């Protein structure tokens, strides 16, 4: 089979399998083929290596030697990934191809053998999960991943943890951030997810991008924390919003993570918030970032409001960013980004400004741009403005002096927030944008007001005459 310069589109390749298997199975097969190509390419780049199973399997696929006998394709893929699975995770639910005809598989194999890098092919798979709604629950858009990691500023040698890692987007962005900043990708990556397909996807995604991580699951972090005795330098999460029925073991009253109060059984938002805080390293001044629905910032339900109040009083929250609607797949409502830290006093991972008892609130609702059908994103310029404001507020090295900007950001004290029932929704605090006015003299202003007054007098007289006329006819 000759390599194409671009190859067929993924959508066309998957359409060819529509009658043969479920869409999610076809997409998993596409990911597995991409991973197999990556493993074969990586091995081939090693001059000292012998021809391995991955290269054997990929050679069979790329040359088209399988097309007369598709019954053997599944074992070929499995054997080629045998070494990878022994180091990472077992790929469950790979589709059986015994009933699939060769002509149905050819477009997908051609797509996987295109000259693009395996990492780019895998990203196409992830974008497909978003546009089709298949697997979108474990996909975080790149613009959101960039924003969170840029705010967290991970450094080489640190640990980064995502308790609901999905496809591994946050962990991968942290790896890329450190590699770009320090030329060193030495970073401890940890993740867990309740969804088996998500754990598999994260393992494959990180591998094809040259990153390694400790992944756990499938199991729920809230009821079965697989890293119970560990804390981390950076914690990032995009959990399910307003998750009900999350505590199937009724353990929420006895878990040491709930130091600010037992989370409501019907909503896990503040279970996730407290879990993130509990995982922050105290000795290394850990910091965390968490996406929540905007209602969590101002909700009046007693249980949630009390937990929010205690978190504010313990000063573990540093910043809330109110983001636009339509950023996260399958979530139409606006979202808010919460940033946490154990210490807001001057130190290396913070800055020179002591912000104890203060909170930065940023209203970024109007920053989104449309990037496709039903998809919105926060562009780079807007993300940089958010990151710059947070850095200035902290007194980060090289940052400009912080100033409140009406309609955009404001530093608010605990006393003021407490007076407003611990409401931290930025749009309730930052005010309206400043309105530019023309510089006019006092005499000109008086003349304008006089003209307006005479116009009102004239209208008044006209209405009086009309009213007299109507009364005269009665």
List CB contacts of 341: < 8 A, sequence separation 6 or more: 280, 285, 286, 287, 288, 316, 318, 350
Domain assignment present for 461: no
**The pLDDT of residue 137 is above 60:** no
Tell the residue number behind the tokens 């980004």, with chain if given. Answer: 337
307 and 186 together in one domain: yes
Which residues 6+ apart lie within 8 Å of 452 measured at CB?
none
Residue of 471 and 389 predicted with greater confidence? 389
Q: How many domains does the chain have?
A: 2
Q: Is residue 449 part of a domain?
A: no
In a domain, 459, yes or no: no
Q: Are residues 180 and 111 in the same domain?
A: no
Residues 94 and 147 in one domain: no
- 1 — pLDDT class (breaks 50, 70, 90): very low
pLDDT for 458 beyond 80: no
pLDDT: is 2 or 209 the higher one?
A: 209
pLDDT band at 392; cut points 50, 70, 90: very high
Dist. CA 286–CA 230, nearest whole Å: 12
> How confident is the model at residue 431, as a pLDDT?
86
394 domain residue, yes or no: yes
Q: In this structure, what token pair is assigned to residue 408?
A: 């955009």
Task: Report the distance separating Cα 113 and Cα 95, nearest Å.
Answer: 20
Task: Work out the widest C-alpha separation in the chain, in whole angstroms.
Answer: 110
pLDDT at 249: 64
Q: Looking at 117, 145, 177, which one is the last position of a domain?
A: 117
**460-469 mean pLDDT:** 62
Does residue 143 share a domain with residue 72?
Answer: no
Q: How does pLDDT run across 161-182, given as a tens digit for each residue? A: 999 999 999 999 999 999 988 7
Question: Is residue 456 assigned to a domain?
Answer: no
Report the C-alpha gap between 389 and 381 in whole angstroms.
12
367 and 325 co-located in one domain: yes
**Which run of H or E residues covers position 292?**
strand 287-293
More confident residue, 457 or 313: 313
- Asked if 82 and 228 sit in the same domain, the reply is no
The mean of the pLDDT values for the chain is: 86
| Residues of the domain holding 407 | 136-428
| Same-domain pairing of 243 and 108 | no
Does one domain contain both 81 and 208? no
Rg (C-alpha) for the chain, rounded Å, is 28
Same domain, 176 and 101: no
| 239 domain residue, yes or no | yes
Task: Kindly state whether residues 364 and 234 are assigned to the same domain.
Answer: yes
Mean local confidence (pLDDT), 63-77: 73
Q: How many CB atoms lie within 10 A of CB 53?
A: 19
Percent of the chain with pLDDT over 70: 82
pLDDT score of 200 more than 90? yes
Do 186 and 286 belong to one domain? yes
Residue 35 shares a structural domain with residue 151 = no
Evaluate whether residue 448 is within a structural domain: no
Does the residue 446 lie in any domain?
Answer: no
* Among 82, 117, 152, residue at a domain's last position: 117
Q: Could you give the count of Cα atoms lying within 13 Å of 385 in the half-sphere of its Cβ?
A: 17
Whole-number pLDDT of residue 305: 95
The residue among 448 and 101 whose pLDDT is bigger is 101
Are the C-beta atoms of residues 245 and 230 closer than 8 Å to each other? no
For residues 3 and 54, what is the distance between their CA atoms, to the nearest angstrom? 18
Residue 438's pLDDT is: 47
Average pLDDT estimate for 129-146: 72
Asked if residue 2 has pLDDT above 80, the reply is: no
Predicted confidence (pLDDT) per residue in 360-378, tens digit = 999 999 999 988 776 889 9
Token pair in block for residue 251: 């353990």
Of residues 325, 316, 319, the one with CA closest to residue 293: 325
Kindly report the CATH number assigned to the domain that includes residue 310.
3.40.50.150
Lowest mean pLDDT among 41-45, 66-70, 222-226, 355-359: 66-70
Distance of alpha carbon 355 from alpha carbon 342, whole angstroms: 12
pLDDT of the residue at 96: 80
């Amino acid at each position: 089979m000759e390599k194409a310069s671009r190859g067929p589109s993924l959508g066309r390749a998957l359409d060819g399998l529509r009658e043969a298997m479920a869409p999610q199975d076809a997409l998993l097969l596409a990911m597995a083929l991409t991973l197999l190509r990556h493993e074969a390419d990586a091995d081939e780049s090693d001059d000292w290596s012998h021809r391995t199973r991955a290269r054997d399997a990929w050679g069979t696929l790329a040359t088209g030697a399988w097309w007369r006998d598709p019954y053997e394709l599944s074992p070929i893929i499995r054997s080629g990934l045998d070494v990878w699975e022994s180091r990472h995770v077992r790929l469950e639910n790979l589709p059986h191809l015994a009933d699939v005809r060769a002509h149905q598989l050819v477009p997908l194999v051609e797509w996987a053998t295109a000259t693009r890098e395996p990492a780019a092919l895998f990203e196409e798979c992830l974008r497909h999960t978003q546009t089709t709604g298949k697997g979108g629950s474990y996909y975080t858009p790149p613009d959101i991943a960039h924003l969170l990691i840029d705010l967290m500023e991970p450094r080489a040698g640190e640990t980064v943890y995502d308790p609901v890692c999905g496809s591994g987007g946050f962990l991968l962005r942290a790896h890329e951030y450190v590699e770009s900043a320090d030329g060193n990708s030495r970073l401890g990556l940890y993740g867990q997810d309740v969804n088996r397909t998500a754990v598999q996807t994260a393992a494959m995604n990180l591998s094809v991008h040259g990153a390694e991580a400790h992944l756990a699951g499938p199991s729920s972090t809230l009821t079965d924390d697989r890293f119970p005795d560990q804390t981390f330098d950076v914690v990032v999460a995009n959990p399910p919003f307003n998750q009900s029925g999350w505590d199937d073991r009724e353990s929420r009253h006895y878990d040491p993570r709930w130091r600010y109060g037992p989370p409501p059984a019907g909503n896990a938002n503040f279970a996730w918030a407290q879990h993130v805080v509990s995982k922050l390293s105290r000795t290394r001044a850990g910091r965390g970032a968490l996406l929540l629905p905007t209602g969590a910032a101002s909700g009046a339900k007693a249980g949630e409001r009390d937990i929010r109040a205690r978190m504010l009083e313990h000063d573990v929250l540093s910043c809330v960013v109110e983001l636009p609607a339509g950023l996260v797949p399958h979530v139409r409502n606006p979202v808010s980004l919460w940033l946490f830290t154990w210490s807001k006093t001057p130190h290396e991972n913070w800055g020179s400004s002591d912000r104890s008892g203060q909170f930065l609130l940023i209203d970024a609702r109007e920053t989104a741009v449309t990037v496709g059908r039903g998809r919105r994103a926060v562009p780079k310029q807007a993300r940089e403005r958010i990151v710059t404001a947070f850095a200035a507020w902290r007194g980060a090295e090289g940052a400009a002096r912080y100033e409140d900007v009406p309609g955009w950001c404001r530093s608010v004290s605990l006393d003021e927030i407490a007076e407003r029932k611990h409401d931290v929704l930025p749009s309730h605090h930052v005010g309206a944008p400043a309105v530019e006015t023309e510089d006019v003299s006092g005499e000109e202003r008086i003349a304008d007001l006089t003209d307006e007054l005479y116009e009102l007098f004239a209208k008044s007289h006209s209405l009086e005459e009309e009213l007299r006329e109507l009364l005269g006819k009665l």
